[in-house]
Chain A
Amino acid sequence: MLFPTLTFGLFFLLTFCLVWGVSRSNEWRKILLLLASWVFYGAWDWRFVALLIASAVLNWGGARLIAGSDDPRWRKRVLVAGVIANLGILGFFKYYGFFLEQLGDLLAVIGFARDLPLVQIVLPVGVSFFTFQGMSYLVDVYKERVPAASLLDITFLMSFFPHLVAGPIVRAADLVPQLRTTPKLDRGMVAMALLLIVWGLFKKAVVASELATQFVDPVFADIAGHSRIDLLLAAYGYAVQIYCDFSAYSDMAIGIAALFGYRFPRNFDQPYRAASLQEFWRRWHISLSSWLRDYLYIDALGGNRGGVWYICRNLMITMLLGGLWHGAKWTFLIWGGLHGGVLAIERLWREYRPRGAPVLPGWAGIFITFHIVTLGWIFFRSATFADAIAYLRGMTGSGVAGMTATPLQLALILFGLAIHAAPPRLMQGIALRVRTWPAPVLGVATGATILLIDAMRFEGVAPFIYYQF
């Protein structure tokens, strides 16, 4: 069930009426939302609802055992077992095939070719998101950052449909305290929620879908048949597409959750206006980057406690694993390695920068960072490493002349970049005005904007890019 579809619209309307209309009890309200979330997830594949519930029970049980004991060794053992179980779920569904394939290739190289038990494993949508939420909950209970929560609250945290399949990664500390009392809606929250939903719908249904289906996908599918200018524009086009696609999902998830009275953290903050890669990661997929920073970089690897080379090692490991989180492909590893390498170089430059060395102007930092990120996106988007190399070679010299990008596609790429120059809190400013409008005015304005988007949208809806992760 995709957000920008009428099926989801009807599901949302029904759930909204049921949740706000039927029950005044907070517990029943959560149960209704939980059932709705399982219907939402089950619409994709019912079998994996059981996996979702099992994962929630596992993390609830693990946290209870940790919280109920004063023995540090027992607490640590349960934590390690819980993290291994979560990684086991993730590893089985996401990486089993990849690692078996690599093992098969390796055995063939050393002359021990064997028929390995390769099976096609269906990847449960959102498994990377809900297992990361489960793991962070266990670590937070272990470190006594949050108290152990009830089974209902943990199942709700991991299953709540707005963020279930593509984030943001909502931590227990963000959501569980909100579950203790019946939420209340205020006008500011509603105004911002509706703006986020409509803005997300526009970014996904118009900008991302139009660029993907009409320009970026055809160029990446036939690299040799396109000119240098097309390849360059499609790389920029993909940078805009993936931002508009993923940030649209986050915006809509935050908006939908807000209409049920829950606050999700911000997940994007105009990432292409970052003047360094470190800043980029404070603005892009914030819930994942802060997760990796807090639980992997700091908790597991030690953060900045060692010397500068130790920090660089940690940055590289974190970003390589961040790349692998996206999927079992060499191109994701290279993407992570590129980011890790540049983050390490930035760190070394700050450490060993010669005195009196010129400081880059802000615009140059933004320009360079954007192009490093776009280079990474070529690996991220390409089906194979060979395709990515062919793409880069084509950008330096292609035998094809001309340009297939249309004026509309060029305008959408420029628009997708230009929105990064907008005032950072523009939408909140608009919401402050909208909250003073009478309901009929807001209703007609919302309906008219959705009508306009529907008239512009590409026929059909492509799945969100982050559904595959």
Chain B
Amino acid sequence: MTDTGRSTRGETPSPVDLPGGGARAGLGWAAGSILIASLFLLLTNAQALDGWAAEQEPSETMIRVSDATAGWLDATERMGAAGPRAWMHGVWKRMQAARFAGQAAAGE
């Protein structure tokens, strides 16, 4: 606190301003990156989409959406695209279940 180190108003630095400026224009680059990231997740993480659809309030539209996401999840599982997430989740679950010597196992 105390006002000896008072900053000037409106001049608080933003972390998104990189030293040396931001270089080239970035809207197309941002849109391309976000699109590819979204498609990547659509392919590899269909489980999240299916889970989200299942959590929504039931309606005729949501039933159709839920059927579509379930079908897409099946398709990605057949393709093997859901494998990496399942493997990583398994590793994480084992890390969660690990205990120090003498500690009760998870769920006991």
Instruction: Identify the A interface with B (CB < 8 A).
Output: 5-7, 13, 16, 20, 140, 145-146, 171, 173-174, 177, 184-194, 196, 210, 214, 254-255, 258-259, 263-266, 278, 281-282, 286-287, 289-290, 292-294, 297-298, 303-304, 311, 315, 318-319, 343, 347, 402-404, 406-408, 427-428, 431-432, 435, 439-440, 442-444, 446-448, 450-452, 454-456
CA distance A281 to B6 in the complex (A): 12
Task: Give Cα A189 to B19, complex, Å.
Answer: 11
B4 near A304 (CB under 8 angstroms)? Answer: yes
Q: Cβ of A439 and Cβ of B6 under 8 Å apart?
A: no
B10 within 8 A of A: yes
Which 9 A-B pairs give the minimum distances between C-beta atoms? A443-B36, A173-B10, A186-B22, A447-B40, A188-B22, A439-B32, A265-B12, A455-B88, A263-B14
Question: Which residues of A are found within 8 Å of B95, using beta-carbon distances?
Answer: 407-408
Partner of B15, one of A194, A266, A297: A266
Q: For B85, give the chain A residue with the smallest CB separation.
A: A455
14 A/B residue pairs, CB under 8 Å, sorted by A: A185-B30, A187-B22, A187-B23, A190-B33, A266-B15, A294-B9, A408-B98, A427-B15, A435-B22, A439-B29, A443-B37, A446-B34, A455-B85, A456-B88
B99 and A407 within 8 A (CB): yes
Interface residues of B in 25-39 (CB under 8 A from A): 25-39
Which B residues are CB-close (under 8 A) to A454?
Answer: 45, 48, 85
**A297 with B13: in contact, given A187-B23, A406-B96 (CB under 8 Å)?**
no
Beyond A315-B2, A406-B103, whether A190 also contacts B30 by CB under 8 A is: yes
Tell me the complex Cα distance, A217–B36, Å: 38
Q: Does B60 contact A (CB under 8 A)?
A: no
Q: B91-108 toward A: CB 8 Å interface, digit per residue (1/0)?
A: 010011011101100000
Cβ distance B91 to chain A, nearest Cβ, rounded Å: 8
B45 with A278: CB separation less than 8 A? no
A251 to B63, CA, bound (A): 36
- Contact: A297 with B3, CB < 8 Å? yes
Task: Provide the residues of chain A in CB contact with B30, threshold 8 Å.
Answer: 185, 190, 193, 259
What's the minimum C-beta distance from B34 to chain A, rounded to whole angstroms? Answer: 7
Of B12, B21, B24, B98, the contact of A174 (CB 8 Å cutoff): B12
Cross-chain contact A450 with B49 (CB below 8 angstroms)? no
Check if B7 is an interface residue, CB within 8 A of chain A: yes
Which residues of A sit under 8 angstroms from B23, Cβ to Cβ?
Answer: 186-188, 435
Chain A residues, Cβ within 8 Å of B4? 304
CB < 8 Å neighbour of A442 from B17, B33, B39, B49:
B33
A432 to B19 alpha-carbon distance, docked (Å): 8
A215 CB → nearest B CB, Å: 11
Residues of chain B within 8 A (CB-CB) of A263 are 14, 16-17
B64 at the interface (CB under 8 A from A): no
| Residues on the A chain within 8 Å of B44, using CB | 447, 451
Name the distance in Å between B79's Cβ and chain A's nearest Cβ.
15
Residue of B nearest to A188 (CB): B22
Instruction: Report the Cα distance A282→B6, complex, angstroms.
Output: 10
Q: How many angstroms from the CA of A193 to the CA of B29 in the assembled complex? A: 13
Closest chain B residue to A187, Cβ basis: B26
Please name all residues of chain A whose beta carbon is closer than 8 Å to the beta carbon of B96 when the two chains form the complex. 210, 214, 406, 408
A451–B28 alpha-carbon span in the complex (Å): 23
Q: Are A456 and B22 in contact (CB under 8 A)?
A: no
Would B9 and A171 count as touching, CB distance under 8 A?
yes
Given contacts A171-B9, A189-B16, A192-B16, contact A451 B84 (CB under 8 A): yes
Q: Would A187 and B16 count as touching, CB distance under 8 A?
A: no
- Closest CB in chain A relative to B41 CB, distance in Å: 5
Known: A20-B27, A173-B10, A451-B41. A403 touches B100 (CB 8 A): yes
Q: Is B14's CB under 8 angstroms from A140's CB?
A: no
Q: Are B40 and A13 in contact (CB under 8 A)?
A: no
Return A439 CB to nearest CB of chain B, in Å: 3
Rounded to whole angstroms, the CA-CA distance of A450 and B13 in the bound complex is: 27
Q: How far is the CB of B33 from chain A (nearest CB, A)?
A: 4
Additional pairs, 15, CB under 8 Å, beyond known A259-B30, A448-B40:
A173-B9, A188-B23, A188-B26, A210-B96, A259-B34, A265-B12, A304-B2, A343-B2, A408-B98, A427-B15, A435-B18, A439-B29, A442-B29, A446-B34, A451-B41
Q: Kindly state the separation between the CA atoms of A407 and B3 in the bound complex, as whole angstroms.
A: 44
Interface centre among A263, A286, A319 (most CB of B within 10 A): A263
By a CB distance below 8 angstroms, the chain A residues around B19 are 428, 432
**A187-B26, A443-B32 given as contacts; is B41 within 8 A of A431 (CB)?**
no
Within the complex, the shortest CB–CB distance from B68 to chain A, in Å, comes to 14
Q: How many angstroms from the CA of A298 to the CA of B2 in the assembled complex?
A: 8
A residues within 8 A CB of B40? Answer: 443-444, 446-448, 451
Does B58 sit at the interface, judged by CB under 8 A?
no
In the complex, chain A residues whose CB is within 8 Å of the CB of B89: 455-456
Q: B15 to chain A: closest CB distance in Å? A: 5
Assess the A282–B3 pair: CB atoms within 8 A.
Answer: no
| Residues of chain B within 8 A of A343, CB atoms compared | 1-2
Q: Determine the residue in chain B with the shortest Cβ distance to A176.
A: B10
